Chain A
Amino acid sequence: MGSPMEYNGGSVVAMVGKDCVAIATDLRLGQQSIGVAYNFDKVVAVNDKLYYGLPGLATDVYSLREHLRFRVNMYRMKEEREITPKTFTHLVSSSLYEKRFGPWFIEPVVAGLPQPTELDPHPKPFISTMDTIGCITTPKDFAVAGTAADKLYGAAEGLWEPDLEPDDLFETISQTLLNAVDRDCLSGWGAIVHVITQDKVVTRRLRSRMD
């Protein structure tokens, strides 16, 4: 049997823009070469300023998502405030490292806009990604993960530019995702894009090749 990371397929990409972030995923769930579902959303919201994607082994997607939902709810009750993207990244990272010698087969991608505070009235958009055992990377441009990661790197490296407005960021991340997953057998079958700004989140389903 092949690697658990390539069993179900799927990819996620996140990008930073001017006072906005975007996160996008494909919708395929498969069993190796057989496509099983085209509604498998790998991106979930923590709140309306913070989203994360979990590409990897589908059973671990469910387990980790529920684990994180529990931990975030407990955080909310104890702290009586929403978790910040940076803190959430460290929560995910330590959850992964807890299973250092029997890891979750997931490479998470986090995208969020931190709430303005008195100390930091104009916080920067935040994205991060981790490997399967929780090593954090916090890029200032884009983060990719999943079976189409190498294709996403190439497309994003060619298309991304700094300080994109929300509409242009949407176009950039959509083109990056679609063209990358079209060259990946294990990803595709539809796509969803979220563009997060301080006053709203725009979620769109993309029309794409279904092969």
Chain B
Amino acid sequence: MALFAPPPMYADPTMAADKQHAFNPYSENGGSILAIAGADFTVIAGDTRQSEGYSIQTRYARKVWQLTDRCVIATNGFAADGNNFVKRIKQRLEWYEHAHQKQMSIKAIARLTQTMLYGNRFFPYFAYVILGGIDEDGTGAVYSFDPIGSYEREACRAAGAAQSLIQPFLDNQIYFRNQTPAPGAEPFVPGRLPLSTVLGLVIDSFTSATEREIAVGDGLELYVVMKKGRTTDDLVGSDNLIKNMQVQELGALGEGGSERTFLVSLPLKRD
């Protein structure tokens, strides 16, 4: 009878056990981003390392981009999704300019970001987005998003691989959490720190994160968006520069909006 028994599956190499096959469309590319709003400026920063697992893909990949004369976007998570999201939002902003002969406000860009992210509700962009810039009445603004579009305006926000390292430090230094003013002293008001202090905190946040988080390092790109008519002496004055720090003004993208955007870059540890 054994002659008529069907051969076992494993006997035939062409019929080897069913292979489980799955394509994973997502990846995680490390890095970290951070934005802090001031009274008349906003700082939006990100490191430049792009990694996958324990491997470094490049030591210089951008994740912070100038969108308009008063808005900068930073994305973190899956680099392909982040880059594509920035590309599409830039296209939408161009169409808006054609239709309305003006640049979109940061508030409107925030709502647009929400609808674009939520439009992919069931196949999300794996990207944590932070918008930073100047709002309609000239004050610094930071908007942070989750990958499907839930958003909130805040005074500061960190996201990415080092979010858990940076955010408690920012809570303490920006929101003055767990601190009490000395008797008779001015009460603490978040979002009113001078640019020099904020720059120091951003750089310290990233050098700290570089020490303890392997996905963060290589370089720091830091965008400063300044209100119309605000002095730039506290940034471009040469005595404010720390070692290896470069400051470059980015030209206006639109016409007439006299907000100014600066790109500050400096190296971080590469190990």
Does any Cβ of B come within 8 Å of A86's Cβ?
no
Task: For the complex, give the distance between the alpha carbons of A151 and B205 in Å.
Answer: 12
> Across the interface, do A180 and B168 meet the contact criterion of CB distance under 8 Å?
yes
> Across the interface, do B168 and A154 meet the contact criterion of CB distance under 8 Å?
yes
**From DSSP, what is the main secondary structure of chain B's interface residues?**
helix
Within 8 A of A (CB), among B159-185: 162, 164-169, 171-173, 177-179
Does any Cβ of B come within 8 Å of A98's Cβ?
no
Task: For the complex, give the distance between the alpha carbons of A191 and B126 in Å.
Answer: 37
Does any Cβ of A come within 8 Å of B212's Cβ?
yes
Does any Cβ of A come within 8 Å of B208's Cβ?
yes
> Across the interface, do B172 and A179 meet the contact criterion of CB distance under 8 Å?
yes
Does any Cβ of B come within 8 Å of A163's Cβ?
no
Please list the residues of chain A having a beta carbon within 8 angstroms of any beta carbon in chain B: 150-151, 153-155, 157-159, 174-175, 178-180, 182-183, 208
> Across the interface, do A179 and B165 meet the contact criterion of CB distance under 8 Å?
no
Please list the residues of chain B having a beta carbon within 8 angstroms of any beta carbon in chain A: 162, 164-169, 171-173, 177-179, 204-205, 208-209, 211-212
Question: By CB atoms of chain A within 10 A, which of B165, B167, B211 has the most?
Answer: B165
**From DSSP, what is the main secondary structure of chain A's interface residues?**
helix
Contact of B169 among A158, A174, A178, A208 (CB under 8 A): A158
> Across the interface, do A153 and B167 meet the contact criterion of CB distance under 8 Å?
no
> Across the interface, do B212 and A182 meet the contact criterion of CB distance under 8 Å?
no
* Nearest CB of chain A from residue B45's CB, rounded to whole Å: 15
* Residues of chain A contacted by B164 (CB below 8 angstroms): 150-151, 154, 183
> Across the interface, do A157 and B178 meet the contact criterion of CB distance under 8 Å?
no
**Which B residue sits closest to A171, measured CB to CB?**
B179
Task: For the complex, give the distance between the alpha carbons of A175 and B173 in Å.
Answer: 10
* Nearest CB of chain B from residue A178's CB, rounded to whole Å: 4
Question: By CB atoms of chain A within 10 A, which of B166, B169, B212 has the most?
Answer: B169
* Nearest CB of chain B from residue A157's CB, rounded to whole Å: 4
Task: For the complex, give the distance between the alpha carbons of A42 and B211 in Å.
Answer: 28
Task: For the complex, give the distance between the alpha carbons of A157 and B205 in Å.
Answer: 9
> Across the interface, do B165 and A150 meet the contact criterion of CB distance under 8 Å?
yes
* Residues of chain A contacted by B172 (CB below 8 angstroms): 155, 159, 175, 179
* Nearest CB of chain A from residue B5's CB, rounded to whole Å: 45
Task: For the complex, give the distance between the alpha carbons of A157 and B169 in Å.
Answer: 9
**Which A residue sits closest to B173, measured CB to CB?**
A158
A-B residue pairs in contact (CB < 8 Å), sample of 16: A154-B164, A154-B168, A155-B168, A155-B169, A157-B209, A158-B169, A158-B208, A175-B179, A179-B169, A179-B171, A179-B177, A182-B171, A182-B177, A182-B178, A183-B164, A183-B168
* Residues of chain A contacted by B204 (CB below 8 angstroms): 158
- Given A155-B168, A157-B211, A179-B169, 11 further pairs, Cβ under 8 A: A153-B212, A154-B162, A154-B166, A154-B167, A155-B165, A157-B209, A158-B208, A159-B172, A179-B171, A179-B177, A182-B178
* Residues of chain B contacted by A174 (CB below 8 angstroms): 178
* Residues of chain B contacted by A150 (CB below 8 angstroms): 164-165, 212
* Contact A183:B205 (CB < 8 A) given known A153-B212, A208-B178: no
